[in-house]
Amino acid sequence: MSENFSTSDHFKVRDLGLAKAGRMKIDWAESRMPVMAALREEHARKQSLKGFRITGCLHVTKETAVLIEALAAAGAQISWSGCNPLSTNDEVAAALAEAGISIYAWHGMNTEEFYWCIDKTLEQKPTMTLDDGADLIFRVHDKHLDLIEGILGGTEETTTGVHRLRAMSRDQALKYPVIAVNDAETKWDFDNVYGTGQSSLDGILRATSVLLAGKNFVVAGYGHCGSGCALRAAGMGASVIATEVKPTAALKATLNGHRVMKMDEAAKVGDVFITATGMKDILVGRHFETMKDGAIVCNTGHYDCEINLVELEELAESKRTIRDNCEEYVMKDGRRIYVLAQGRLVNLAAAEGHPSEVMDMSFANQFLSMVKLAQEGKDLEIAVHDIPEAQDQQIAAIKLETLDAGLDVLTAEQIAYDDDYAAGT
């Protein structure tokens, strides 16, 4: 296990001395998360989570700190780990540890340490789990079956995690109810599109500082996340090429003005590649063999399986870190291929993740789902549950108020018209 950490009976972080810088980051995020502020105020007053123990495994960022502290203010006892070895912000982790939160997280951990941290957080015997990617819930089902009886339910933040949990549910392997936070409209329609779009380009630019205008920007996967990346890359003057396996998604990309082609063709012309599919082996050896000199390759999907780095290593003659989060692979014919953030989430590893303004809504869904599990978890069927429409509308309404946007209201006549099937031509 690595050395020179700050540790105590309730945390292990890189360096507690970073806490002051972390607190300023959290203050900054908090000032841009008005929905979370409103929820925190209400539920701190009601102490809605008093007596509940929440164990979370989700990127330790300044925005996550706002969520954690709101849950704690509502009375919950918290323990937390990061859900990706490269996404923890050490300053934020230090600030949380200093504030008394039980946290086990640092940037740059290995796989063994990753699961050690999860196991430490489970020592508090949670009543609820909060996941991003489903590694925590899977760990409970795999190695801590004794905890299941005491768990009312869990939540899942991301597309990949929900996919995993639905597969577990189909197999009847899921042992407690889970709320699919990802599938709330106020999550996927904003976080996945605008959040991923902006933060992924932010990561690419921090790691490379290249000019995007005029570049061929290849987006693998034109789902919510991929379309967000395409939107922002096109906005900066890149020419977007999408690759897809799903006809409707490919059609959308075409009608949004992008070229669609097979990856075998895109590999030859792309300048920058980003994978956003949730599937493994999107970029493999035969693609690296045909890429242009100087091609930049990165991933924004949850797991680091989309770019096959083993095959790239086999083809490369040498490798060096040329900039932070940017590795140069020199191929046998002299071509250089640049891999960002070791093929892990480029938006969190090379930048700061999604901006606070979108995480405000995603985490409002997490927060309200925790309150729901506290109140109704015992009665929920063991399945993956959607967020109720009313919760989406509540969050969107609070957000709109803070954006100074006016909302029209239907008149009584309009409401009657809505139900009047006899009204026509």
Could you tell me how many residues make up the chain? Answer: 425
344, two tokens: 């892990």
For ligand ADE (CB under 6 A), the number of binding residues is: 11
Question: For residue 312, which amino acid is it?
Answer: L
Q: Is 56 in the site for ligand ADE (CB under 6 A)?
A: no
The region that residue 237 occupies, defined by phi over 0 for left and psi between -120 and 50 for alpha, beta otherwise, is: left
Q: Which is nearer to ligand ADE, 201 or 267 (CB)?
A: 201
Segment 194 to 233, residues that bind ligand ADE, using CB under 6 A: 195, 199
Q: Is 63 in the site for ligand ADE (CB under 6 A)?
A: yes
Where does this chain touch ligand ADE (CB under 6 A) — which range of 54-62, 136-144, 201-209, 406-414? 54-62
Give the nearest distance from C-beta 352 to ligand ADE in angstroms.
Answer: 6
Q: Which of 309, 359, 374, 396 binds ligand ADE (CB under 6 A)?
A: 359
Question: For residue 247, which amino acid is it?
Answer: P
Order of strands, sheet of 128-131, starting from the edge strand that comes earlier in the sequence: 6-7, 11-13, 102-104, 77-81, 53-57, 128-131, 153-156, 178-180, 384-385
Give the nearest distance from C-beta 362 to ligand ADE in angstroms.
Answer: 8
Q: Which of 22, 197, 203, 353 binds ligand ADE (CB under 6 A)?
A: 353
> 110: closest CA among 352, 328, 342?
342
Buried b (16+ CB within 10 A) or exposed e, 168-204: beeeeebebbbbbbbbbbbbbebbbbbbbbbbbbbbb
Q: Estimate to the nearest angstrom the gap between the alpha carbon of 110 and the chain centroid.
A: 19
> What is the C-alpha to C-alpha distance for residues 142 and 164, in angstroms, rounded to an integer?
14
Q: Is 354 in the site for ligand ADE (CB under 6 A)?
A: yes
Segment 180 to 199, residues that bind ligand ADE, using CB under 6 A: 195, 199
Q: Is 61 in the site for ligand ADE (CB under 6 A)?
A: yes
Residue showing tokens 């008093």: 50
Where does this chain touch ligand ADE (CB under 6 A) — which range of 9-17, 348-356, 369-377, 417-425? 348-356
Buried b (16+ CB within 10 A) or exposed e, 390-402: ebbebbbebbeee
Q: Is 370 in the site for ligand ADE (CB under 6 A)?
A: no
Give the nearest distance from C-beta 386 to ligand ADE in angstroms.
Answer: 20
Bridge partners (DSSP) listed for residue 384: 178
Give the nearest distance from C-beta 361 to ligand ADE in angstroms.
Answer: 12
Residue 189, CB-side half-sphere exposure with 13 Å CA sphere: 6
Where does this chain touch ligand ADE (CB under 6 A) — which range of 96-104, 160-168, 347-355, 406-414? 347-355
Where does this chain touch ligand ADE (CB under 6 A) — which range of 251-259, 334-342, 353-361, 397-405? 353-361
Give the nearest distance from C-beta 261 to ligand ADE in angstroms.
Answer: 29
Give the nearest distance from C-beta 60 to ligand ADE in angstroms.
Answer: 8
Return the H-helix or E-strand segment holding 271: none
Residue number closest to ligand ADE, CB atom = 353
Buried b (16+ CB within 10 A) or exposed e, 134-143: bbbbbbbbee
What angle, rounded to 10 degrees, do the helices at 356-376 and 34-46 form? 30
212, two tokens: 């995007």
Where does this chain touch ligand ADE (CB under 6 A) — which range of 61-69, 271-279, 302-310, 334-342? 61-69
Q: Which is nearer to ligand ADE, 18 or 359 (CB)?
A: 359
Q: Which is nearer to ligand ADE, 177 or 353 (CB)?
A: 353
Q: Which is nearer to ligand ADE, 19 or 58 (CB)?
A: 58
Give the nearest distance from C-beta 217 to ligand ADE in angstroms.
Answer: 20
Binding-residue pattern over the window 236 to 255 for ligand ADE, x denoting contact by CB under 6 A: --------------------
Return the H-helix or E-strand segment holding 242: strand 239-243
Asked if residues 336 and 330 have their Cβ atoms less than 8 Å apart, the reply is: yes
Q: Which is nearer to ligand ADE, 63 or 271 (CB)?
A: 63
Q: Which is nearer to ligand ADE, 161 or 353 (CB)?
A: 353
Segment 80 to 119, residues that bind ligand ADE, using CB under 6 A: none
By CB under 6 A, name the binding residues for ligand ADE. Answer: 58-59, 61, 63-64, 195, 199, 348, 353-354, 359
